[in-house]
Amino acid sequence: MFRRSLGALGAATLVARPARSHAPATTRRPGERVLRVVAPFEFAGPDPARSGHVFARMGVGEMLLGADPEGRPVPMLAECWSTSPNGLLHRFVLRPGVRFHDGSPLTAEAAAESLRHAHAAASPFSRVPVAAIEATSDAVLIRLSRPFAPLPAVLANYASMILAPAAYDEAGRVRAVIGTGPFRVERFSPPLQLDVERFEGWWGPRPAIGRASYLVVSQGEARATMAESGHADLTMALQPVTVARLRRSPRLEVLTVPVPRTRILKLNAASPYFADQRVRQALSLAIDRQGIAAALVRNPAMAADQLFPPTLQDWHLPAPPPRRDLERARTLLAEAGWRPGQDGILVDAGRRRFACRCITYINWPELPPIATALQAQFRELGIDMSVAIGNSSDIPRGHRDGTLEMALMARNYALVPDPLATLLQDFQPGGGDWGAMGWSDPALDAALHALSAPAGDPTAARRQAAGILREALPVIPIAWSELGVAVSRDLAGVTVDPFETSYRLHDIAWLR
Amino acid sequence: MGRRSLGRFLRPVLMRLTQALLVALIVGALGFALMAALPGDQAFRLAAARYGPDMGDAAAAALVRQELGLDRPWAVQFLDWVGRLMRLDLGHSLVTGEPVLEELTMQLGYTLALAGVALPLSALLGLPLGLLAGLRPGGPMDRITLGLSVLLRAIPAYALGLFLVTVFSIHLGWLPPAGFEGWREFVLPALTLALGLAALSARVARDSVAVVAASPFMAFARWKGLPERAVVLRHGLRNAAIPVVALLGLQLIGLVEGLIIVESLFSWPGIGHALVHAIFARDVPVVQGTALALGLIFVLVNAFVDLACALADPRRARAAT
């Protein structure tokens, strides 16, 4: 009796404050199966510049243009487009009969207004030299102040999403995601969950999937477990270490596609350590790329001695797999004036020790282990590299205040499906926050400038630019990336977009 | 209830109200000062949190700085916050742009739901074991629960959560390792929290029961011929409950500490998860709002504990007046 009463009292006091859940009740239609997407990318608020990646991937919002598997622009909300001979006027003719999720029609003025918002936000489009955005009866006109050939690719970026006029408040802030895509928002709970349902008024063929949800699970291991245990139907961004295990699961198919995201080592070429190209080349020769790719990326074919993987044919230079050559590296360092000191660490003529700091961040979980692998490999050359793991913003900040020496990062050259847009930013004459620092090359500038202009065959200029970057090494490539996706065998029609612009849910159907 | 006894209950309530006001100001000021003292540039941090690493560059940081007026002096920004707090406005998140109060309400809902499952669960696990152990101090049950309690208190919530995920999600496949949709998603995070809390409550209950069971007043109650039911209800229950109720206030500290870790581990969209992200992003209004909510809950729970203790043991309240 005594035991029971005290137990009951304890329980009663502990539940004295009833729990009140604010989780809105879901209105599940009976029998409607929800396609569950699990991914690591959180989202913040309804602004496309911040969360557009999720809206675009889940088929809620659409842009004027999309991208094909090679990154070439394809029609989306714009049916066709043209550029004036001088490259300054771009005309995008809208697809007729398109409606937003609130029932309002897509007009040229609505599209132009969305693009004006995108241009004012922190978006790739804001870096385009736009003079004016105008609307005619059926088309959007974009006037540029100088030619910018990758404009169509920039318009395929999620931040250039077209939303209904009702999506914006009086101050121009996005209050709701009212797009044109095959799915519309059913429940929006940032930063972790988005539920969507089929939009019956979509301009394309009716999707077979009726409902889908996007759930953020940041731990790679937890994502893998959700896929394995049937709690996720599409699991994105698999960690390399979990791929082999998931391949053995009978309920899953694992797809991997190479994506243009490259792990690179950014060097401050204005510092006394890395100003000499021979030192940068020596560092590159000291890296055991095959070892890093095999052990940490779990695919030796990802070893990278140039920025772009073979899938970007025009930008990739045919070459044998990269090899480590410590002897040649030591020779180059000696030629640059670095000799081993008493403790084995290199010193230059002014008795300066080769001791530098490399910063990296944890958004990509493989970066810290790669940094420590580099630390050990550079140590064999007599370079004392310390590793600091912090926030990704430490890199642009260190670039701006000049304190950065080295940074290990994963740079996405596909945020805009044409890599030129990112290269123009990263390797412009003054350098770029996520690219060169204290380094520039007039030949590269000329090649990139030529690519921005509307005329001619771009292949030669692309190869030339890739060749300069590979030789001069303002940043040292280490490993390319693959996107691993675990797909439930209950699904048919799943394809993976290497530019990660869409999960193509509208092409997917349930097998059972 | 007489005037005196009304005052006896009102006094601690007024004291707690004053305390709540002070907590609000101190928490706000501390949140502000600590965020200002952290290394890193706020505009760069916010740009990375808003737009992701690939778009988080100096141009984005400049836009953020201009939009939010981050180059205003810290004192001006702090007074701005105090002024808004007076109007019960917690401001907008610097990352999402949404009102902090709106975000807090939603997150607090998830957190309270989780805590509302974890606390009773910890009581269900901890108190019966504590009782059994307390009735036979030094017995096998006492030793086993002591060992278990030490083990569970020593394991960090993070490791315990991973262990439970390994067993129940990976090996047995019974429960999802993340998500927050239905009851199945509640089990693992709530159990992770509850086990840590139960380890403590079991020991407190054990000691409390052991002391009360062996006390002369219990023996005297039996000697004077009271039936066992009356002995337990009138003398045992009340006396043994005081330390257990007081423990609730302490449990809250453990709960907040556990929530921050458990929510991050299980992708639970509660206040702990939000706090961690806000600190990384230097989202000052969210840090202040979250800390404020936690501080006020703390004051509130302690006020309830005081009241409950005063009801259970009138000697305390008399001593206080």
The domain spans of chain A are 41-216, 260-481
A163-179 pLDDT, tens digit per residue, is: 999 999 998 889 999 99
Average pLDDT over residues B144-164: 88
Whether residue A26 is predicted with pLDDT greater than 90 in this model: the reply is no
**CA dihedral defined by B116, B119, B125, B127, rounded to 10 degrees?**
-130
Band (pLDDT 50/70/90 cuts) for residue A75 is very high
The rounded distance, in Å, linking the Cα atoms of A396 and A407 is 10
Q: State the pLDDT at residue B5.
A: 66
Q: Residue B213 pLDDT more than 60?
A: yes
The reply to whether B244 touches chain A by the CB within 8 Å rule is yes
- Sort out which chain B residues have CB atoms less than 8 A from A122's CB and list them: 47, 50-51, 55, 59-60, 63-64
Say if residue A293's pLDDT is above 70: yes
Which comes out higher in pLDDT, residue B48 or A17?
B48
> Residue B35's pLDDT is what?
83
Determine the CATH number of domain A41-216.
Answer: 3.40.190.10
**Chain A interface, mutation test: which of B46, B50, B57, most A Cβ atoms within 10 Å?**
B57
Higher pLDDT, A275 or B21: A275
Question: What average pLDDT does this structure show over A48-69?
Answer: 95
- Cα A473 from Cα A285, distance rounded (Å): 11
Instruction: Label residues B93-124 b or e (16+ Cβ within 10 Å = b).
Output: bbbbbbbbbebbebbbbbbbbbbbbbbbbbbb
Q: Least CA distance to B63: which residue of chain A?
A: A122
**Could you tell me which residue, B168 or B250, shows the higher pLDDT?**
B168
Quick one: tokens of A157?
Answer: 């970026």
For an interface test with A, which of B55, B264, B277 has the most A Cβ atoms less than 10 Å from its Cβ? B55
The third-level CATH classification (topology) of the domain covering A260-481 is Dipeptide-binding Protein; domain 3 (3.10.105)
What per-residue confidence (pLDDT) applies to A476?
97
Residues of B in contact with A49 (CB under 8 A): 50-51, 55
Average per-residue pLDDT in chain A?
90
**Closest residue of chain A to B164, computed from CA coordinates:** A222
Q: Is the ipTM above a cut-off of 0.90?
A: no
**CA-CA distance, B42 to B319, in Å (whole number)?**
50
Residue bearing the bigger pLDDT, B245 or A184: A184
For A9, the closest of B44, B237, B269 (CB atoms) is B237
Per-residue pLDDT at A29? 57
The answer on pLDDT for A127 being more than 50 is: yes
Structure tokens that stand for B277 in this block:
């992200």
User: B319 pLDDT band (50/70/90 cuts)?
Assistant: low
The amino acid present at A49, given as its one-letter code, is A
pLDDT at A23 over 50: no
| DSSP count for chain A of H helices, then E strands | 14, 20
Residue A250 pLDDT greater than 60, yes or no: yes
B233 and A5 within 8 Å at the Cβ level: the answer is yes
A89-94 and A78-83: which strand pairing? antiparallel
Residue B3 has a pLDDT of: 61
Asked if pLDDT for residue A411 goes beyond 50, the answer is yes
- Residues of chain A above pLDDT 90, percent: 79
**A463 Cβ neighbours under 8 A, 6+ residues apart:** A314, A315, A317
DSSP state letters, B202-241: HHHHHHHHHHHHT-HHHHHHHHTT--HHHIIIIIIIHHHH
DSSP classification of residue B144? H
Of B11 and B320, which is predicted with more confidence? B11
- Residue A20 has a pLDDT of 31
d(CA A69, CA A258): 11
Which CA distances in Å does B275 have to A46, A391, B263?
20, 16, 10
Q: Has residue B320 got a pLDDT over 70?
A: no
Q: Pick the residue with more confidence: B265 or A425?
A: A425
Residue A9's pLDDT is: 33
Does A479 have pLDDT greater than 70?
yes
Minimal CA–CA distance to A20: which of B172, B115, B35, B25?
B115
Higher pLDDT, B131 or A55: A55
Q: How confident is the model at residue B31 (pLDDT cuts 50, 70, 90)?
A: confident
pLDDT band at B224 (very low <50, low <70, confident <90, very high): confident
| Contact between B51 and A3 using a beta-carbon 8 Å cutoff | no
Whether pLDDT at A432 is above 90: yes
Closest in B47, B97, B131 to A122, CB measured: B47
How would you class A85 by CB atoms within 10 Å of its CB: exposed for 0-12, middle for 13-18, buried for 19 or more?
A: exposed
* Distance between B76 CA and the closest CA of chain A, angstroms: 24
Share of chain B above pLDDT 90, in %: 10
CA distance A243 to A221: 10
Quote the pLDDT of residue B82.
81
State the Cα–Cα distance between residues A406 and A275, nearest whole angstrom: 12
In this complex, which of A41, A192, A391 lies closest to B269 when CB atoms are compared?
A192
pLDDT at residue A11 is higher than 70: no
pLDDT at B229: 76
The pLDDT-based confidence of B316 (bands split at 50, 70, 90) is low
**pTM of the prediction?**
0.85
The pLDDT confidence band at residue A8, using thresholds 50, 70 and 90, is: very low
pLDDT band at A16 (very low <50, low <70, confident <90, very high): very low
pLDDT at A316 over 90: yes
Q: Is B170 on the interface with A (CB under 8 A)?
A: yes
Residues in A touching B184 (Cβ below 8 Å): none
